[in-house]
Amino acid sequence: MQYQIIPLEMGSLVERHVFQKGNKEIKCGLVWKLGSVITSVKPAFLKTYDPDIGICIQDIPGGSIGETYEGEKVIYFSDTVEDEEEYELSEIFYASSKKYSKNYADVYHDLGWTEVSSESYIFGEIEIKEINSMPTNYK
Mean pLDDT over each residue of the chain, to the nearest integer: 91
In a domain, 15, yes or no: yes
Q: What is the mean pLDDT of residues 10-38?
A: 95
What is the span of the domain harbouring residue 54? 2-131
pLDDT single digits (tens) 43-83: 989 889 999 999 999 999 999 998 888 889 999 999 999 99
| Distance of alpha carbon 65 from alpha carbon 55, whole angstroms | 13
Residue 113 lies in a domain: yes
Is 137 a member of any domain? Answer: no
Helices and strands in the chain: count of H runs, count of E runs: 2, 7
- Please tell me the total count of domains within the chain: 1
Q: Which residue has the higher pLDDT, 100 or 89?
A: 89
Average pLDDT over residues 112-126: 95
- β-strand pairing of 13-21 with 114-122: antiparallel
Instruction: Indicate whether 138 belongs to any domain.
Output: no
Residue 39 pLDDT grade (very low, low, confident, very high; cuts 50, 70, 90): very high
- Is residue 77 a part of any domain in this protein? yes
Which residues, other chains included, contact 5 with Cβ-Cβ below 8 Å and sequence gap of 6+? Answer: 36, 37, 38, 39, 43, 60, 63, 122, 126, 127, 128
pLDDT of 132 higher than 80:
no
Model pTM score: 0.80
pLDDT at 134: 53
pLDDT recorded at residue 139: 46
